[in-house]
Homo-oligomer: A and B are copies of this chain.
Amino acid sequence: MTEDTGRARPRVVIIGGGFGGLTAARTLRNAPVEVTLLDRTNHHVFQPLLYQVATAQLAPSDITAPIRFLMRGQKNATVLLAEATQIEPERRVVCVDGEPGEVPYDFLIVATGARHSYFGHDDWEPLAPGLKSIGDAVEVRRRFLLAFEEAEKTDDPVERQAYQTFVIVGGGATGVELAGVMPEIAKNALRADFRRIDTRNTRVILLEGGPRLIPTFPQSLADRAKRDLEKLGVEVRLNCLVTRIEPDAVYAGDERIPTRTVFWAAGNAASPLARSLGVPLDRVGRVPVEKDLSVPGRPEVFVVGDLATLTQENGKPVPWVAQGAIQGGRRAAQNIECDLRGRPRRPFRYWDKGNMAVLGRARALAEIGRFRFTGFVAWLMWLGLHIVYLVGFRNRLSVLLQWAYAYFTYQRGVRLISDPVPRMPDETAVPGPPSVKTGP
């Protein structure tokens, strides 16, 4: 059943079905190549909306689409659900777990992205989950919702306040968006649901190690973000380094903040797959790539998205955002086509389409070229752009429906804790996710 063309066509293997990998695969749709798109999950995630899954506004299926479904019409492409464990650039194969064991390539595009970096404190990860995958988002959602349940149960006022205190580490876009939405949910959506706790007493604390929020934005918008967050009730602390995380507290410098729920939105660590490329990596494990996005000394291997690092002509690195991955994926694929047609490769130039971040309910910041927008106008722009960029007609409709519902009712539709309480021993045989307590 395999469409066998006698291996005349070069094999392009793409690792990762995120923005970079998916764009690369689609760019090659008419190229005389055989594309294999590898991912360890079956779905593409629209990462900019992950924080909305984490805060129970959208369902996981609203911001995901099966990679196989997205690629169904592309006859020169095969999708493989498998985890790439190793790249062997000398032999030009990618090793995967399970069948088929090895996937040989003529060209390789690595687009596996990044995970959070805990700056040498990997033991913090179980206490402070990050927000990179659907699994992460569901875990954050579970801890966020469960904290209110535990607060409602306890009779100890100190413990209750600790359950009603949420600490977010990292003041980039993810941290700001996550922090901005939490007070509103506590004060509006959840207020009438509880009998013993007053959800208006919820504290949301945003800790940023640097001197300002959202470093990819201009200073004026960062100041505005801080003011807007503070108006929403978020306690923003700048120049504030986390020194320790325990099950019932975070240490900001010397101060102990009692909390049962910490979320991590600071720092990136590149996917460990990069190590097998055999080239020097940067401090956080990224691959410094050539101007054409290829790996130094390996013209047939490209790295795009959060796993790559490249300095632009203005001296700044290409930012690690969705647009960087999308444009990089497209350029890498085009450079493969250049090779096939005997044309010279073209260097990657990042086109800054602007920056956006949402602040709570119906408010946002946007920077597009020389223009800056704030408040409701920026939010409408954000909304329109995200609907347009969201993959798939069904998802767009469903997301619009959920947003309209949240906007008009102040409610959150997806307040689902999938498996909060450990099951009884005689009912555990159907495997479910492990029940990890938010506290000790």
Contact = CB atoms under 8 A, between A and B. Distances in A.
B43 A126 contact: no
A427 interface: yes
Contacts of A71: 193
Stoichiometry (number of copies): 2
A3 B61 CA distance: 40
Contacts of A155: 99-100
The range of chain A's interface size is: 35 or more
Contact of A153 (B98, B411, B429): B98
Interface string A417-437: 111111110110111111010
A416 B192 contact: no
Main secondary structure of the interface of A (DSSP, over half): loop
B97 A422 contact: yes
A142 to B, nearest CB: 10
Contacts of A79: 193, 195
A167 interface: no
A135 interface: yes
B194 A68 contact: yes
Interface in A191-218: 192-198
A149 interface: yes
Contacts of A272: 424, 426-427
Nearest to A77: B195
A68 B193 contact: yes
A135 B414 CA distance: 15
13 contacts: A42-B416, A43-B416, A59-B61, A60-B418, A66-B416, A69-B193, A73-B192, A81-B152, A81-B153, A82-B153, A100-B153, A122-B429, A394-B405
Closest 5 CB pairs of A and B: A125-B429, A433-B433, A40-B421, A68-B193, A61-B414
